[in-house]
């Protein structure tokens, strides 16, 4: 029996559908091209000279989704996230076609959140309105900084004026949107970052994501590291973030995410709550639950190879079951990013394991002041959020520590 047919048979075999309901399912669509690769970026993004092959790539995405349907048979989409790369390189007509293909192949929950990442360097007037007309409900704008010198230092293709214009246009076109901001940039002082932060907050964004610049392996910055603010300065900047966002009515609901009531990112919450997601596109990752296992998949990373393989119905480069001993770490890696934590019952629902599989880690994390809990929930302490890697690593399988 072919592998895809075997998985469908396993999923539908007698008795399996009587087990607890599967978690919510989201769709991630990866559009891999960008104008220029940022020196800190370790995502699957690729510079493209001239216009990318939009039509061929959209054909490949549809074939990829069609071939994946047996893995998600009978399930509805909870949210859609179009990321990259720079998805806003794709014109609104292409996004309209993409979302039309998704709707034709998959049922969406009523009112589903549909997010598209946009780069101010690809901004042009009324482009964002075109995305809204195509069915995008939420825009995430990769501003990173409103300071020209800082933008140049991290290799962004836009300037501060373009960043402001893009946020203005997003605010006019969308009921909800996100601003991405970075801190601890090369040579950045707390005062310079605070100016960036106050500029972002002046737009009254419904959602703000703020990330510490980190040097990732296999990036330009890893080979040629810039001088970055030390840990104490970075901590001062983080304190200012928490203080200023709270004063403006933005609640910190995840370690790097702040939102007004009703504007939390549904798609990302599904990740952090260990929900399921199907990833299509070059280099996209999937996490899918079945009645008796959790499976992870990775698509081919190179866009040309991905398109050729997806059009042949063979887009998956890696497909492996998550070992049961790794599930506690996988779950807590995500859940402990949330300031409110998670219900302990959800651990069993999402992994099939008894809560006792977490107990040794919970005791150790609580002893170190990184975590708090009651009879029903577990959540990171303020110290746990500040030392999140330490908290998460407690739940690694013993052989991996």
pLDDT in tens, 217-239: 989 988 999 999 999 999 999 99
Closest CA to 320 of 330, 311, 335, 310: 330
DSSP state of 326: G
CB 79 within 8 A of CB 27: yes
The rounded mean pLDDT for the chain is 92
- Dump pLDDT digits (tens) for 337-388: 999 999 999 999 999 999 899 999 999 999 999 999 999 999 999 999 999 9
CB 140 within 8 A of CB 118: yes
Q: Which domain holds residue 94?
A: 3-270
Q: In this structure, is residue 372 part of a structural domain?
A: yes
Q: Is there a single domain that holds both residue 117 and residue 188?
A: yes
Domain end position, chosen among 270, 286, 307 = 270
Q: Is there a single domain that holds both residue 259 and residue 365?
A: no
Question: Sign (positive/negative) of CA torsion 250, 362, 343, 27?
Answer: positive
Closest CA to 289 of 317, 343, 331: 331
Question: Could you tell me how far CA 54 lies from the centroid of its own chain?
Answer: 23
**Residue 11 clears pLDDT 50, i.e. is over it:** no
Q: In this structure, is residue 115 part of a structural domain?
A: yes
Strands (DSSP E) found in 42-88: 46-47, 77-84
Q: Is there a single domain that holds both residue 79 and residue 187?
A: yes
Q: What is the pTM of this model?
A: 0.92
Q: In this structure, is residue 275 part of a structural domain?
A: no
> Can you give the pLDDT at residue 356?
92
Q: In this structure, is residue 286 part of a structural domain?
A: no
Closest CA to 160 of 171, 151, 169, 170: 151
Rounded to an integer, the average pLDDT of 30-47 is: 88
Residue 64 buriedness (CB in 10 A; 0-12 / 13-18 / 19+) = buried
Q: In this structure, is residue 400 part of a structural domain?
A: yes
Domain count, the chain: 2
Q: In this structure, is residue 193 part of a structural domain?
A: yes
Q: What is the CATH number of the domain that holds 193?
A: 3.80.30.20
């Amino acid at each position: 029996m072919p592998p895809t047919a075997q998985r469908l048979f396993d999923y539908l075999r007698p008795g399996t559908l009587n087990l607890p309901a599967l978690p919510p399912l989201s769709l991630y669509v990866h559009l891999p091209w960008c104008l220029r690769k940022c020196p800190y970026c370790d995502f699957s993004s690729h510079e493209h000279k001239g216009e990318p092959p939009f039509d061929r790539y959209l054909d490949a995405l549809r074939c990829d989704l069609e071939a994946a349907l047996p893995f998600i048979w009978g399930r509805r989409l909870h949210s859609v996230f179009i990321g990259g790369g720079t998805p806003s390189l794709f014109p609104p007509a292409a996004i309209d076609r993409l979302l039309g293909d998704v709707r034709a192949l998959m049922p969406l929950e009523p009112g589903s959140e549909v997010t598209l990442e946009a780069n101010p360097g690809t901004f042009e007037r009324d482009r964002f309105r075109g995305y809204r007309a195509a069915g995008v409900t939420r825009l995430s704008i990769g501003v990173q900084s409103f300071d020209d010198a800082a933008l140049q230092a991290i290799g962004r293709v836009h300037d501060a004026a373009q960043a402001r214009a893009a946020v203005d246009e997003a605010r006019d076109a969308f009921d909800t949107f996100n601003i991405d901001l970075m801190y601890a940039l090369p040579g950045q002082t707390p005062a310079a970052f605070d100016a960036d932060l106050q500029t972002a907050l002046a737009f009254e964004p419904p959602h703000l994501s703020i990330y510490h610049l980190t040097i990732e392996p296999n990036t330009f910055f890893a080979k040629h590291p810039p001088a970055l603010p030390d840990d104490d300065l970075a901590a001062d900047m983080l304190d200012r973030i928490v203080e200023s966002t709270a004063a403006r009515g933005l609640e910190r609901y995840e370690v790097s995410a702040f939102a007004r009531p009703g504007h939390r990112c549904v798609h990302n919450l599904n990740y952090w709550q260990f929900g399921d997601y199907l990833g299509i596109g070059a280099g996209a990752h999937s996490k899918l639950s079945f009645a008796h296992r959790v499976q992870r998949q990775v698509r081919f990373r190179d866009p040309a190879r991905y398109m050729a393989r997806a059009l042949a119905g063979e887009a998956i480069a890696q497909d492996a079951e998550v070992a049961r001993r790794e599930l506690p770490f996988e779950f807590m890696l995500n859940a402990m990013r949330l300031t409110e934590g998670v219900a302990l019952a959800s651990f069993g629902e999402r992994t099939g394991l008894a809560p006792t599989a977490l107990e040794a880690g919970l005791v150790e994390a609580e002893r170190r002041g990184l975590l708090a809990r009651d009879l029903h929930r577990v959540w990171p302490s303020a110290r746990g959020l500040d030392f999140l890697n330490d908290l998460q690593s407690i739940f690694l399988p013993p052989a991996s520590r």
